[in-house]
Each structure stands twice: as C-alpha cells, then as structure tokens.
Amino acid sequence: MILHCVWIRFKATLRPEERAAIYAALAALRDVIPGMVSVSCGPNVSPEGLQGGFLDGFVVTFENADARDRYLVHPDHVAVGKRIVTAAEGGVSGLLVFDLAT
C-alpha cells in the first residue's frame, strides 16, 4: 500500500464552493483510476498548531506503487492537479507531497 499525502495552502480568496469542488473531483478519481483504494480530503483538525500553514489536504491510498504511478500520469488526475496548483498559494510552492509505503 502507498499513502499519497498532499498538504495544501489554499489561497485566502478561494471560495468554499471551489474547495469543495476540488475535493469532490479528487474523490471521483477513485471511480476512474484502477488501484485507488480510498480518498480522504479536508481541513486540518489537529490541535497541535504544527501545520506550518498547510490548512488543508488529502490522502489517497493505493494498492501499490504501480497504481500510484498510473494515477500520477492519468489525464483526469493531471486536470485535477492543475486545479489544485491554481488554487494553492504560490502554485506548487503551496503544496507538500509525501508518499509513505505501508
């Protein structure tokens, strides 16, 4: 299993409807891309205050690294990824990606 973790600093001007639409688009990828086990999206709810400005994020669980790699180049993922980069403060610098093998 691969946990694909993405933390996001959304622009302050991003409307809540657009944030919700991005999360819905991410969740919809599970029906299109083989090997995606689950998708969880939402705001940070940690009380620790150690988020470093990353107030939102998502985690995708993949069956294996091959499934993750297919997801990375899948056209539907690329389209959602562009929406995320556009919505992130500073573009790609507003993202933190961490993949964990379990």
33-81 pLDDT tens trace: 999 999 999 999 999 999 999 999 999 999 999 999 999 999 999 999 9
Query: pLDDT value at position 85?
Result: 98
Q: Indicate the pLDDT class of residue 15, thresholds 50, 70 and 90.
A: very high
Range of the domain at 27: 2-101
Long-range residue pairs from 84-89, CB within 8 A, at least 24 positions apart, any chain: 84/6, 84/8, 84/22, 87/8, 87/10, 87/11, 87/14, 87/18, 87/19, 87/22, 88/8, 88/9, 88/10, 88/11, 89/9, 89/10, 89/11, 89/12
Mean pLDDT of the chain: 97
Query: pLDDT value at position 62?
Result: 98
Query: pLDDT value at position 94?
Result: 98
Which CATH number does the domain housing residue 49 bear?
3.30.70.100
Query: pLDDT value at position 54?
Result: 96
Query: pLDDT value at position 59?
Result: 98
Q: Report how many domains make up the chain.
A: 1
- What is the pTM for the complete model shown? 0.93
